[in-house]
A and B are shown apart, each in its own frame.
Chain A
Amino acid sequence: MGRKPKTEEPQVLNRIEELRLAKGLSRQELADAAGVHYQTVGYLERGEYSPSLSLALRIARVLGEPIETMFWTVEENSHA
């Protein structure tokens, strides 16, 4: 059984921007705390890049939110 083509993979959405703004953090500050480049935070917030589990956990820790309430897929969204 192979991996699904990327086009068939559900897009991962998140609340990073909302939580970051609520915490009063700039992209640069969040990027520094999570150990990534500030452009990567932009990619994550726009849903254009799906983070690894390790990065997702780091961001969740910085923003003080459980990971499961921060990330979800488009499929889950439509089922909700």
Chain B
Amino acid sequence: MHEIVVIGLVALQLALGYGFVYPKFAGDNQLRLLWLDVLTMVITLGVTGLLYANKNLDFSLIFFDTEWWIFTIAVGAILEVPLYLHYTRKREMKHWNKHGKIYWIEGVTESEVTRALSDTKYNRLRTRRARLVLVSLGLGSVGMMYASAFLGAYGKLSTYLEGIGLLSSLVLYFILRSSVRIVADAPDDLLDERQIAVRNRAYLLSYRTMFFPLFGLLILQMGNLEMTFFADPQVGVIDGGALFIATAMLMAALPSIFVALGDKGEDGIGLDLSAGGNRL
């Protein structure tokens, strides 16, 4: 029953959004549409939160049960795709707006990358030392999320650790991204040949590094340990949701981490992460 209520709320949000709010306030501006969409989703989350937060209800997502907020976001995403495609096609939106091209796969805009590449305002974040601090704190935050998965016995401590770890790793991820001038996420069109080489090398190292956490998860699975996904932490049960989110965060951040370690900062100092040569 509670699933139907959430689906109804999301449907109402989308009907109001695509029927009234977006045509009136976003028109054919992609970026504005995106922000309005985030705003309406936050409002829907607020309403579902008021109804279901701390009620200890499981929401069925067919394959597994989850919490109210994940269910709301998942239903929103599924219902929105056809509406979004219809909206953009009807207006012949070519994913361009006054802020420049949007690179959907990379998740960046042209102006965002161009600005980051020429920016000198945050050069204090681009020294070797600053990058090492950011990388260490970021890895520490991801470590907190991993640790929280095994601390179900400590109840609230586990929840706090996961929450603080998630929040700080998100914040640090965006600062680190800015520190490396978004090189790790930028498309070829906006980088020069050296930056493309640095980015590609970072992805190679990230791919190889991801073997270790994924192997760790495999070992856990082989151990036949009890695991839950996005449910309240319990004694002796591993929080698979926390493991999944921590691994996803690590995967997203690793390319920027390797760019931060390998590319020289504004102070001209960096590690040589190339295969022994004079270039990355």
Contacts and interface: CB of A to CB of B under 8 A. Distances in A.
Interface of A: 5-7, 9, 11, 35-37, 39-40, 42-43, 47-52, 55
B117 interface: yes
A37 B117 contact: yes
B272 to A, nearest CB: 9
B56 interface: no
A43 B277 CA distance: 14
Given A37-B117, A42-B268, A7 B276 contact: yes
Interface in B191-212: 191-195
Q: By DSSP majority rule, is chain A's interface helix, strand, loop, or mixed?
A: loop
Contacts of B193: 36, 40, 51-52, 55
Interface of B: 117, 191-195, 263-264, 268, 274-280
A56 to B, nearest CB: 11
A49 B264 CA distance: 12
Contact of A50 (B195, B264, B279): B279
Given A37-B195, A48-B279, 17 more contacts: A6-B275, A9-B277, A9-B278, A36-B192, A37-B194, A39-B263, A40-B192, A40-B195, A42-B268, A43-B264, A48-B264, A48-B278, A49-B194, A49-B278, A50-B278, A50-B279, A55-B193
B226 to A, nearest CB: 48
Contacts of A40: 192-195
Nearest to A12: B278
B42 to A, nearest CB: 37
B189 to A, nearest CB: 12
A35 B192 contact: yes
